[in-house]
């Protein structure tokens, strides 16, 4: 396992992050405590030290299990959790207000059995709390020592940019990590979010590298593998995505690595400063996924995967790269201009 820097914090995290939404059976697709511990141990034994959870995952069971597992080596592990979402129907137990933030972090600390959370995410933008208010509230939280760094998830790039600019202007902490879905069938983060991560020096943590199991190939034929999606119901199971899964499966036979390994490895190589988040329901799945550490995809293989997964035009970024426009912008002198 190699390690990446968590934004500008100096904290070192493993190049893969273990998602723990599968810790617990409360949501009917996870693992019991014993299997969750085996998954946790396998990840640690491979050098993993970065774990992702949230107050809402499996109704709190995810944090409870994770809290028990980390006690013997808490100092070396990096624990991420989140607030914003809720399963409660109480009006002030959701969103990004300081009230919900305070209540949520206290609940997570209790379930995790720890004094601090290494990385605390805003789980989703609620369009109610202003960026100025949010960043000030998060700064108070950081000053309390209950969280060591902050991240943002499922938020438009223009809002995150404003939040970071406000923090820079006022001498506050900026977001150290950005979390959104990212996989071969969901690449919209390429347009603005990943460039923003590079510009603001945030760690990119893409979740769902297997597209909820689609990219394992198990939806291409009838089998007994557990499935969370139904053809004709889930938008993920489109003809385009299934065709892409078939091409990945064909490539897997050529290079002797499973479709799952190819999909995760692609995500690892697409963004230099990233730690993709993968989950597993069983030790077998976890061990299979961890074999991505044993190989790299060649340039030709990456180009092929990028070609079959390409999204539409990325304007204005693509527009600004047109040769004719560059010639007009730089008057044919681009190679002489030093940044």
Please give the domain boundaries of the chain with CATH numbers for all domains: 3-314 (3.20.20.100)
**CA–CA gap between residue 94 and residue 83 (Å, rounded):** 8
pTM: 0.94
Mean pLDDT over 102-108 rounds to: 98
Q: Which residues are catalytic?
A: 57
State the pLDDT at residue 330.
82
- Reported as a single tens digit per residue, the pLDDT across 143-191 is 999 999 999 999 999 999 999 999 999 999 999 999 999 999 999 999 9
- Neighbour-count burial of 86, counting CB atoms closer than 10 A to its CB (0-12 exposed, 13-18 middle, 19+ buried): middle
The answer to whether the CB of 121 falls within 8 A of the CB of 150 is yes
Q: Predicted confidence band at 258 (pLDDT cuts at 50, 70, 90)?
A: very high
State the pLDDT at residue 333.
79
Q: Tell me the C-alpha to C-alpha distance, in Å, between residue 25 and each of 30, 37, 137, 218.
A: 5, 13, 34, 22
**CA–CA gap between residue 274 and residue 294 (Å, rounded):** 18
Mean pLDDT over 91-95 rounds to: 95
The answer to whether the CB of 115 falls within 8 A of the CB of 67 is no
Cis amide linkage into residue 316, ω under 30° from 0: yes
State the pLDDT at residue 154.
98
Residue 224 predicted with pLDDT over 70: no
Mean pLDDT over 123-128 rounds to: 98
Looking at every residue in the chain, the average pLDDT score rounds to 95
Residue 339 predicted with pLDDT over 70: no
């Amino acid at each position: 396992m190699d390690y990446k820097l968590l934004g500008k914090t100096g904290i070192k995290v493993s190049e893969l992050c273990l998602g723990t939404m599968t810790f617990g059976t409360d949501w009917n697709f996870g693992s019991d405590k014993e299997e969750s511990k085996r998954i946790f141990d396998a990840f640690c034994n491979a050098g993993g030290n970065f774990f992702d959870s949230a107050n809402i995952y499996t109704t709190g069971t995810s944090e409870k299990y994770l809290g028990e597992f980390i006690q013997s080596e808490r100092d070396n592990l990096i624990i991420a959790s989140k607030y914003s979402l809720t399963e409660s129907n109480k009006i002030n137990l959701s969103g990004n207000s300081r009230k919900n933030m305070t209540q949520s972090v206290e609940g997570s600390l209790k379930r995790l059995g720890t004094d601090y959370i290494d990385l605390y995410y805003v789980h989703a933008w609620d369009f109610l709390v202003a960026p100025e208010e949010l960043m000030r509230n998060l700064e108070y939280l950081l000053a309390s020592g209950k969280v060591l760094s902050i991240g943002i998830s499922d938020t438009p790039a223009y809002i995150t940019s404003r939040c970071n600019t406000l923090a820079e202007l006022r001498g506050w902490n900026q977001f150290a990590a950005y979390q959104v879905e990212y996989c071969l069938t969901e690449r919209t983060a390429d347009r603005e979010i990943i460039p923003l991560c590079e510009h603001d020096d945030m760690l990119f943590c893409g979740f769902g590298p297997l597209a909820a199991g689609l990219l394992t190939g198990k939806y291409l034929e009838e089998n007994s593998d557990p499935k969370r999606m139904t053809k004709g119901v889930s938008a993920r199971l489109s003809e385009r995505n299934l065709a892409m899964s078939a091409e990945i499966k064909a490539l897997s036979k050529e290079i002797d690595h499973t479709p799952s390994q190819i999909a995760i490895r692609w995500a690892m190589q697409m963004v230099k400063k990233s730690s993709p988040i993968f989950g597993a329901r069983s030790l077998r799945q976890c061990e299979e996924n961890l074999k991505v550490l044993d190989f790299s995809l060649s340039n030709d293989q990456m180009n092929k995967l990028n070609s079959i997964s390409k999204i539409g035009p990325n304007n204005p970024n693509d527009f600004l790269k047109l040769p004719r426009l560059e010639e007009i912008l730089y008057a044919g002198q681009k190679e002489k201009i030093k940044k």
